[in-house]
Amino acid sequence: MSTATQFRSDTSKDAIPAMMQAAVYHGVNDVRLETVPVPEVGPGEILVRVHTCGICGTDLKKIATGSHSAPRIFGHETAGVVAALGEGVSQFQVGDRVMFFHHIPCGECYYCRHKVFAQCPTYKKVGATAGYEPSGGGFAEYVRVSDWIVRRGVIRIPDGISFEQASFIEPVNTCMKGIETLGLKPGESVLVIGQGPIGILLAVLAHRKGARVITSDLFPARHTIARSFGLNENIDASTSDTVGQVQDLTEGRGADAVILAVAGNSLIRPAMDATRPGGRVLLFAQTQHGEATIDPAAVCVDEKSLLGSYSASVDLQEESTEFVLGREMDLERLISHRFPLTESEEALQLAAHPKPDSMKVLIQPGSLWKDQAE
C-alpha cells in the first residue's frame, strides 16, 4: 500500500472507495458514465467528495468541438466535503465543506505583475482532477485538489449555506472580472445580450455598480426571471429589433456599454451597432478561436472599444466569496435542473441545448449521499 493510500484511509471519516463513477469525455459530443479509480492525494493536496458541480458553457464548448485531448473529466464549479488530507495540510480538516477554484496564478510572473492573471503559465495549469489530464473533475464523485490551489484557492462553506449556492463562487468571480474590465460608472446605460444564468449575473452586477441595465433575450421566460432580480427593462429579441430598441431607449445614441453574454460571433456586429460612439463592447462568451465580422470604422472613426474578459481573478476572490456566501443574491433561484451523476449525459445535453424553461443545470454526484451536509 502506498503512503498516499495509507494516509487516505487513516484520515477519512468514511472509507474512501478504490473506484468511483465519473462522466468521462472521449471526444466530440462523446461523454460516457464510467467507473474510474479514485485519485490519490499527495503532499499538500486534498481529496474532495463532490456534492454539486455546475455545468459551465466553456466545458460544453470543449465537448462540442473536441478541442481537448481525451479522455478527460470536466467540471469546475464544484462544492463538496473534504474527504482526505495529504501530508502537510493543516488548514483544513476531513469533513470541512468547501468549494475550490481550479485556476490560481503564481503571483510573480510578468502577467501576474500586470494583473492579467488568466495568461499566467501557472494559472493555465488546471489544479484539480478526477483522473486523466487535469480538467476540473467536478463531473465525478471525488476530485484531487493540487497543492497550489489548496494554499490559495479553497474556500470554506459556512453552516447555513448550501453547496448549490457555494458552487456559484467561481462563475460570480468571472462575471465580476468582466464588470471590472468594462469600467462601469454610475448612471451609464448597459445592454446585456443574453439572459441565461451568466447574463443575469452580469446584469445584476452591472446594476450593483449603479448602471441602468437593459437586457435582451430570445426567451420571454428568461425575462420573467430577470425581472424577479430587479432587471425591468427587457427586450424580446425574438420579436423586436434590439439595436433599434436600445437606440430608442437612449435618445438615439446607443448604450454606453454592451455585454455579449452568449456565444456566437455573429452577434458581435449587432453588439457594436447597439453601442454609442465612444462606448465599449465586452465579449464575455467568445471563447473559441475563429473569425468574426466587425466594422473597423466603428472602432477607429466612432471610437468604440472592443474588450474581452476571460476566467476568474484572484484579486476578486474575497469580494466574490462575500457576495455569494453572504447571499447578496439568491443564486439558487437561477437553478432550473438538477441531475444525479448517473444522468450526466442528459444534463450535458440539456445545458448544451437550452430550452425556454432551462437556466443553470447542475450535476450532483452527492445526490445519493446518506449524510448530505446541507
Determine the Cα–Cα distance for residues 120 and 53; give it in Å rounded to an integer.
Answer: 25
Look at the chain and report how many structural domains it folds into.
Answer: 2
Q: Are 300 and 324 in contact (CB under 8 A)?
A: no
Do 114 and 183 share a domain, yes or no? no
- Give the model's pLDDT for residue 12: 41
Q: Where are the beta strands (DSSP E) in the chain?
A: 19-27, 30-37, 46-54, 77-85, 97-100, 128-129, 142-145, 154-156, 189-193, 212-217, 233-236, 255-260, 275-283, 305-308, 335-340, 360-364
DSSP letter (8 states) at residue 208: H
- Give the model's pLDDT for residue 264: 86
Alpha helices in 29-120 (DSSP H): 57-65, 110-113
Do 95 and 225 share a domain, yes or no? no
Do 131 and 224 share a domain, yes or no? no
- Give the model's pLDDT for residue 373: 44
Q: Which has the closest alpha carbon to 359: 230, 239, 229? A: 229
Q: Give me the residues of the chain with pLDDT under 50, please.
A: 1-13, 370-374
- Give the model's pLDDT for residue 247: 97
| 20 grid coordinates | 468511483
In-domain check, residue 190: yes
Determine the Cα–Cα distance for residues 199 and 7; give it in Å rounded to an integer.
Answer: 44
Do 213 and 156 share a domain, yes or no? no
Residue 130 belongs to domain with CATH number: 3.90.180.10
Torsion of CA 335, 204, 330, 62, to 10 degrees: 30
- Give the model's pLDDT for residue 59: 95
Q: How far is CA 230 from the centre of its chain?
A: 22
In the block, cell 501557472 appears at: 122
Do 52 and 125 share a domain, yes or no? yes
In-domain check, residue 108: yes
- Give the model's pLDDT for residue 368: 59
Do 42 and 141 share a domain, yes or no? yes
In-domain check, residue 54: yes
For 300-353, the pLDDT digits (tens) are: 999 999 999 999 999 999 999 999 999 999 999 999 999 999 999 999 999 999
Do 126 and 218 share a domain, yes or no? no
In-domain check, residue 321: no
In-domain check, residue 121: yes
Do 213 and 269 share a domain, yes or no? yes
- Give the model's pLDDT for residue 279: 98
Do 107 and 205 share a domain, yes or no? no
| 333 grid coordinates | 433561484
- Give the model's pLDDT for residue 14: 64
- Give the model's pLDDT for residue 9: 33
Do 113 and 18 share a domain, yes or no? yes
Residue 196 belongs to domain with CATH number: 3.40.50.720
Domain that holds residue 359: 3-161+327-368
